Amino acid sequence: MDQPQKRQLGRTDLRVSRIGFGGSFNAPTSAYEEGFEAGINVFYWGSIRRGGMGRAIRNLAPRHRDELVVVVQSYARLGTLVKASLCWALRRLRLERADILLLGMHNKPPSRRVMDAALKLREQGLCRAIAVSCHHRPTFQKYIEDRNIDVIMLRYNACHRGAEKEVFPFLPAEGGPGVFGYTATRWGHLLDAQRIPPELGPLSAADCYRFVLARPEIDLVFCGPSERSHVQEAIRALRAPPMSEEELERARRIGDYVYQKRSHIMA
């Protein structure tokens, strides 16, 4: 079967699959390699770094480095530590550069020193692009306007759809940052039959990825595979047709139910 087409990532020169792998889970190395062969080319080396993904990157890079898009996350809050954290990750992966340096969880703009350090790493060729993740959606308006930020990473799923009003309308039609989505399954809650009325039934992981990718503003959604079957489901989602309006409405109803149930419990 032909591989799904890659998508231009915002204003970067990177082409990415619509689904990428998060590295905080522990699928076997061969499963990540199977995913790459099926067309998934984005590997997110995050805060919890598992051996399976690391070995897959080291195995694939010698022959496929130009096809791989490797995201390295740094939670450093001191400018002097940003380079150290990136270089440590590159040594472990046996890479000369990252494709994307992700400044993790900045609910307000990074300090000037952190941003200057990231920009210097980009100038030096140790990364090709800079991304920022954030939970405070109004802050994304500042990131969208900042030409130094190439990619934004936000939470979006059938339960948490606030980005539809607080982020997506502020993205320009052309020339804006790339957009990554994560927590598509809402930490597995949307897959849990015990949380959802029988008449609705749970979503599958593939349903969750397809729901996120129905938003044209989102370039890529991350999955977190802990076993081979999770990688295979991501591949199925990647090859599936877009969700119908009926499927989207069902996903919204499930998301609303799970969200309201949580709110009721916490009240």
The DSSP result for 182-202, as a single string, is E-TTTTTGGG-GGGS-TTT-P
Q: Does residue 3 form part of some domain?
A: no
Cα distance between residue 71 and residue 222, in whole Å: 11
In a domain, 1, yes or no: no
Domain of 253, CATH number, reads 3.20.20.100
Mode of pairing for the β-strands spanning 7-8 and 15-16: antiparallel
User: What is the chain's alpha carbon radius of gyration, rounded to the nearest angstrom?
Assistant: 18
74 strand-pairing partners: 103
- The string of pLDDT tens digits covering residues 127-173 is 999 999 999 999 999 999 999 999 999 999 999 999 999 999 999 99
Considering the domain boundaries, does residue 261 fall inside one?
Answer: yes
Question: For the packed helices 79-93 and 112-123, what is the interaxial angle rounded to 10 degrees?
Answer: 40
Residue 261 to residue 80: CA distance in whole angstroms: 44
What is the mean pLDDT of the segment spanning 190-211? Answer: 94
Query: Which of 209, 211, 205, 206 has the alpha carbon at shortest distance from 256?
Result: 211
In a domain, 2, yes or no: no
Residue 163 lies in a domain: yes
Q: Is the pLDDT of residue 3 over 80?
A: no
- The number of domains in the chain is 1
Q: What is the pTM of this model?
A: 0.93
Q: What is the pLDDT of residue 266?
A: 37
Q: Name the one residue in this structure whose structure tokens are 């069902």.
A: 250
Using one digit for the tens of pLDDT, what is the confidence trace for 110-129?
999 999 999 999 999 999 99
Residue 264: pLDDT over 60: no
Q: Which amino acid is at 44?
A: Y
User: Is 149 among the domain residues?
Assistant: yes
Q: Is the pLDDT of residue 14 over 70?
A: yes
Which residues, including other chains, have CB under 8 Å from residue 166's CB and lie 6 or more apart? 137, 138, 140
44 DSSP β-pair partners: 22, 71
Task: Give a yes or no: residue 143 inside a domain.
Answer: yes
Domain of residue 188: give its range.
Answer: 14-266
Give residue-wise pLDDT tens across range 41-54.
999 987 667 689 99
Please report the pLDDT score of residue 267 as a whole number.
Answer: 34
